[in-house]
């Protein structure tokens, strides 16, 4: 009886990795791609932060951090005392350098400050003992984190971004955003300030503008998800304030500038006024409300912007921004009359607060605004110009009563 046939011991030449190095290369590329796809992808957001909360020193080498317990308990006890929180309310933790630590000494390397608070629209009506943090406009990469100590810098590098270390040194080393005040939950957001590459600026990436426009069209920022609160507007003041809805749109912006530098001979808003005047004369179609000026209630800066249907070819170095639109409470004041401006300003705020169905809604994207509505020819007749003042508002939900 003959011996059974044996399988060839040698692999076919075509399947031999040594003889076919491209197979090894393809395998390595596939493995690398799988690793990259498994990494969390960031959400890129450019915004300012105005925060209020509590802070305490932390010694990282300690097994238990009493300071962490203090700030969480203090914030939880004060939640009902914030008059102007951003909603939905989320809870922001910041790790910061301890200003009392001497980091030249090795024993101080583990000392930090921990801040725990919420985002607010203004610094009015804060609980006693609060500290505040105000971050300028900055681009952040937000990752969804499931365990502390994740390799965030590796995630950032894999996504093609670089951390903005100057911002981190000046403002915050790390930012965590939680959905619950006293519980991390299964996952949370971690934000890292990044250097915004030139390629991500709207002027050089019109596709980003298109994506933003589509996103704005999908948003329904004025439609409440729950039952609205009942109105308590008195008959005699029903028409003291107008409620309007402005659409989201593209605007050419002057950029933000301190008031004392905005309108000087070479001030950015003076330059913008010249550009806007020249550009508006070339427009065949104009929106009813074409230009708006806005800024925070703190008066830290001012910005002027002009609505455009298409991005102009020549913007004299100015940027295109996305105006979010939304609901606004509006009333007329006399332009350049500070006393009348303050009267109307207070009147709108009072009307909104007593309306029962609306709430003031200033955010990092929607501010109090103004625009001159009367034509130039009427100024010679009346002796003054009329300015509409806009306050961003939202519809209150019934459970807020």
What confidence score (pLDDT) does residue 386 get?
A: 94
What confidence score (pLDDT) does residue 203 get?
A: 43
Number of domains in the chain: 2
* 116 part of a folded domain: yes
The four Cα atoms 374, 379, 385, 386 give a dihedral, to 10 degrees, of -40
For a pLDDT cut of 70, what percent of the chain falls above it?
79
Rounded Cα gap, residues 23 and 164, in angstroms: 40
Rounded Cα gap, residues 228 and 221, in angstroms: 14
The four Cα atoms 98, 103, 106, 108 give a dihedral, to 10 degrees, of -20
What confidence score (pLDDT) does residue 384 get?
A: 92
CA angle, 329 as apex, 343 and 218 as ends, to 5°? 155
One domain, residues 90 and 216: no
One domain, residues 219 and 351: yes
pLDDT-derived band of residue 200, with 50, 70 and 90 as boundaries?
Answer: very low
Residue with tokens 């990044």: 194
Average pLDDT over residues 337-366: 92
pLDDT: is 52 or 16 the higher one?
52
* 387 part of a folded domain: yes
* 32 part of a folded domain: no
CA atoms within a 13 Å half-sphere pointing along the CA-CB vector of 72 = 12
What confidence score (pLDDT) does residue 131 get?
A: 94
**Taking 60 as the threshold, does the pLDDT of residue 33 lie above it?**
no
Q: Among 11-15, 205-209, 327-331, which stretch is predicted with the lowest mean pLDDT? A: 205-209
**Taking 60 as the threshold, does the pLDDT of residue 281 lie above it?**
yes
For a pLDDT cut of 90, what percent of the chain falls above it?
37
What confidence score (pLDDT) does residue 286 get?
A: 58
Average pLDDT over residues 167-193: 82
pLDDT-derived band of residue 238, with 50, 70 and 90 as boundaries?
Answer: confident
One domain, residues 303 and 281: yes
pLDDT-derived band of residue 287, with 50, 70 and 90 as boundaries?
Answer: low
pLDDT-derived band of residue 62, with 50, 70 and 90 as boundaries?
Answer: confident
- Name the strand (E) or helix (H) holding 250: strand 249-253
Find all residues with CB under 8 Å of 172, minimum gap 6, and list them.
94, 95, 96, 115, 133, 135, 193
One domain, residues 116 and 227: no
* 269 part of a folded domain: yes
pLDDT-derived band of residue 209, with 50, 70 and 90 as boundaries?
Answer: very low
pLDDT-derived band of residue 223, with 50, 70 and 90 as boundaries?
Answer: very low
315: closest CA among 261, 253, 224, 392? 253
What confidence score (pLDDT) does residue 180 get?
A: 86
- Name the strand (E) or helix (H) holding 28: helix 21-38
pLDDT in tens, 88-101: 888 999 988 888 88
**Taking 70 as the threshold, does the pLDDT of residue 318 lie above it?**
yes
Q: Per the structure block, which two tokens stand in for 366?
A: 């929607």
One domain, residues 211 and 175: no
The residues pairing with 53 across neighbouring beta strands, listed in sequence order, are 117, 131
Q: Among 41-55, 76-90, 226-240, 380-394, which stretch is predicted with the lowest mean pLDDT? A: 226-240
Rounded Cα gap, residues 28 and 34, in angstroms: 10
pLDDT-derived band of residue 207, with 50, 70 and 90 as boundaries?
Answer: very low
The residue segments making up the domain with residue 389 are 203-400
Q: Among 140-154, 295-309, 346-360, which stretch is predicted with the lowest mean pLDDT? A: 140-154
Average pLDDT over residues 83-88: 87
pLDDT in tens, 352-398: 999 999 999 999 889 999 999 888 888 888 999 999 999 999 999 87
Rounded Cα gap, residues 168 and 351, in angstroms: 41
One domain, residues 281 and 161: no
pLDDT: is 179 or 393 the higher one?
393
**Taking 60 as the threshold, does the pLDDT of residue 224 lie above it?**
no
Q: Per the structure block, which two tokens stand in for 45?
A: 């957001």
Cα dihedral sign, 66-67-72-77 = positive
Q: Among 24-33, 65-74, 252-261, which stretch is predicted with the lowest mean pLDDT? A: 24-33
Q: Per the structure block, which two tokens stand in for 365?
A: 């994207």
CA angle, 346 as apex, 399 and 273 as ends, to 5°? 110
* Domain C-terminal end among 145, 161, 196: 196
Rounded Cα gap, residues 394 and 324, in angstroms: 13
One domain, residues 192 and 302: no
* 4 part of a folded domain: no
Rounded Cα gap, residues 159 and 40, in angstroms: 9
**Taking 70 as the threshold, does the pLDDT of residue 293 lie above it?**
yes
What confidence score (pLDDT) does residue 375 get?
A: 84
* 33 part of a folded domain: no
**Taking 70 as the threshold, does the pLDDT of residue 114 lie above it?**
yes
Backbone angles phi, psi at 179, to 5 degrees: -85, -25
What confidence score (pLDDT) does residue 149 get?
A: 67
* 327 part of a folded domain: yes
- Name the strand (E) or helix (H) holding 215: helix 206-218
What confidence score (pLDDT) does residue 294 get?
A: 95
* Domain C-terminal end among 130, 162, 196: 196
* 85 part of a folded domain: yes
Average pLDDT over residues 252-274: 93
One domain, residues 283 and 359: yes
One domain, residues 191 and 246: no
CATH of residue 313's domain is 3.20.80.10
One domain, residues 75 and 60: yes
Rounded Cα gap, residues 57 and 208, in angstroms: 42
One domain, residues 70 and 176: yes
382 with 373: CB under 8 angstroms? no
One domain, residues 271 and 343: yes
pLDDT: is 105 or 331 the higher one?
331
Q: Cis ω on the peptide bond leading into residue 88 (within 30° of 0)?
A: yes
Q: What value does the mean pLDDT of the chain take?
A: 81
* Domain C-terminal end among 173, 196, 219: 196
Q: Per the structure block, which two tokens stand in for 228?
A: 């609205």
């Amino acid at each position: 009886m003959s011996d059974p046939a044996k399988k060839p011991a040698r692999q076919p030449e075509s399947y031999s990795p040594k003889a076919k190095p491209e197979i090894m290369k393809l395998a390595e590329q596939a493995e690398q791609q799988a690793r990259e796809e498994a990494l969390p992808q960031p959400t890129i957001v450019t915004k300012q932060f105005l925060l209020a909360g509590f802070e305490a020193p932390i010694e990282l080498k300690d097994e238990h951090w009493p300071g962490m317990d203090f700030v969480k308990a203090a914030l939880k006890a004060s939640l009902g005392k914030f008059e102007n929180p951003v909603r939905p309310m989320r809870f922001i933790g910041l790790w910061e350098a301890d200003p009392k630590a001497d980091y030249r000494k090795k024993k101080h390397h583990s000392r930090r400050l921990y801040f725990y608070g919420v985002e607010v629209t203004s610094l009015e009506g804060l609980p006693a003992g609060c500290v505040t943090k105000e971050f300028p406009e900055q681009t952040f990469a937000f990752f969804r984190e499931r365990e502390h100590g994740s390799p965030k810098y590796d995630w950032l590098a894999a996504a093609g971004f670089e951390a903005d270390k100057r911002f981190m040194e000046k403002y915050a080393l790390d930012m965590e955003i939680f959905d619950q005040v006293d519980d991390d939950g299964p996952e949370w957001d971690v934000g890292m300030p990044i250097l915004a590459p030139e390629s991500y600026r709207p002027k050089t990436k019109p596709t980003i503008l298109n994506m933003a426009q589509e996103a704005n069209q999908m948003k329904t920022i004025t439609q409440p998800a729950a039952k609205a609160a009942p109105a308590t507007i008195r008959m005699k003041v029903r028409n003291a304030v107008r409620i309007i809805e402005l659409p989201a749109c593209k605007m050419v912006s002057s950029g933000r500038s301190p008031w004392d530098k905005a309108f000087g001979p070479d001030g950015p808003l003076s330059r913008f006024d010249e550009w806007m005047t020249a550009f508006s004369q070339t427009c065949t179609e104009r929106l009813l409300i074409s230009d708006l000026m806005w800024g925070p209630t703190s008066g830290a800066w001012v910005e002027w912007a002009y609505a455009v249907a298409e991005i102009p070819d020549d913007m004299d170095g100015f940027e295109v921004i996305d105006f979010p639109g939304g609901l606004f409470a509006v009333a007329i004041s006399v332009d350049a009359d500070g006393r009348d401006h303050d009267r109307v300003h207070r009147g709108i705020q009072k009307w909104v607060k007593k309306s029962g169905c609306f709430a003031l809604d200033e955010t990092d994207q929607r501010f109090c605004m103004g625009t001159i509505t009367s034509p130039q020819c009427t100024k010679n007749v009346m002796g003054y110009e009329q300015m509409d003042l806009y306050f961003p508002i939202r519809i209150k939900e019934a459970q807020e009563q």
